[in-house]
Amino acid sequence: MITISGLVAGYGAADPILRGVDLTAAPGAVTCVVGPNGAGKSTVLKACSGLLRPRSGRILLDGDDLAGLAPAEIIRRGVVQVPQHHGLFPALTVRENVMLGAYVERRERERNRRRFAEIAELFPIVAERAGERAANLSGGQRRAVEFARALMLRPKVVLLDEPSVGLDPRARRQLAAAIGTLNSEGVTVLIVEQNVKFGLSLAHDAVVMEGGKVLRSCPAPDLLADPGMAALFLGGGAGGGGDEPKGDA
């Protein structure tokens, strides 16, 4: 469980982008953060993974405060972020890319080898294309390999920053299946998604952000059914992503 309270964070000396964010990602659930462009959604993930040092507030992982810890320490504690773009090394094989997920524990060779075998069972693409260069994969297949890599250290929490960007509908279905696989491993998933309907259709819980604050937290189906949602997202320029019907995943 991740519990964020009073989180204030920003870039350089400028005014903070996050102005007191409170949100919870329930254990074993998928929580989707939505909101207009510039709301601060990705900034929340950067603070959780240690890429951005919060100015104040707490980010509790099962009661321990992660705020201000170094990224490598946060990974060791069980929180892994899947980056938005260019997550794989194209010249390396699928296997090499997945094994990099255990880089901070690279001396544990035997344990990592066993974990790779488990992950290859969870994600068929990893088993089927293990020896092939990542450059040869489709967009949806790459996302699956990125998720596989994120599982190497048995994380408690996986942070996904706009995973559907650039994917066609078929690849989005593969992505949805891969997120289901992450979740079936008992991982808590915190996802930021521009494609609001797609993100909410995968999620148990929803968090709406605007202007660096949380406007609303509720079950994802409640937000999907809310007629005010379209006004917020279409009006706010986030584009609603209305091409992905609920349940299509």
* Closer residue to ligand ATP, CB minimum distance, 15 or 110: 15
Q: CA triplet 79, 38, 196: central angle to 5 degrees?
A: 70
Q: Which of 39, 98, 189, 206 binds ligand ATP (CB under 6 A)?
A: 39
**Shortest distance, CB of residue 215 to ligand ATP, whole angstroms?**
12
Q: Which of 2, 4, 31, 41 binds ligand ATP (CB under 6 A)?
A: 41
Piece of 1-9, 40-48, 140-148, 150-158 that binds ligand ATP (CB under 6 A): 40-48
Confirm or reject binding of residue 42 to ligand ATP (CB under 6 A). Answer: yes
Confirm or reject binding of residue 38 to ligand ATP (CB under 6 A). Answer: yes
**Shortest distance, CB of residue 35 to ligand ATP, whole angstroms?**
6
Per CB under 6 A, contacts with ligand ATP among 181-240 are: 192, 194
Binding-site size for ligand ATP (CB under 6 A) equals: 12
Piece of 32-40, 87-95, 168-176, 179-187 that binds ligand ATP (CB under 6 A): 32-40
Piece of 41-49, 63-71, 138-146, 240-248 that binds ligand ATP (CB under 6 A): 41-49
Q: Which of 26, 27, 37, 76 binds ligand ATP (CB under 6 A)?
A: 37
- The footprint of ligand ATP (CB under 6 A) covers 11, 17, 35, 37-43, 192, 194
